[in-house]
Amino acid sequence: MRWTVLVALAIVTLPDSDGEAAVASRYDAARAQMLEWIEAGALVPRHITYEGLGAAGGAFVDLLAVRTVGTTIVRLGD
């Protein structure tokens, strides 16, 4: 069975008990783990591509309206 997992990495500056940024201090480790999952095929990054500068406005509206999942790309040329 294959699962689709949506994951977002964010840097958050919430202090932990030591006064260190709780999430930001683990960012590199989390990124390395996600890279391993991607390379193993366990996690597949999703993206949507819009073609041309004329599609940029619609891509931005879709992004703000949460109609996209993953990375939004506007391709401007070959």
In this structure, which amino acid lies at residue 44? V
In this structure, which amino acid lies at residue 12? V
Phi, psi of 3 (to 5 degrees): -105, 140
Phi, psi of 48 (to 5 degrees): -125, 135
pLDDT digits (tens, 9 = 90+) for 20-32: 555 666 778 888 8
Contact 37, 62 (CB under 8 A): no
| pTM flag (> 0.85) | no
pLDDT digits (tens, 9 = 90+) for 37-72: 989 999 888 888 999 989 999 999 998 898 888 888
Residue spans per domain, the chain: 1-45, 46-78
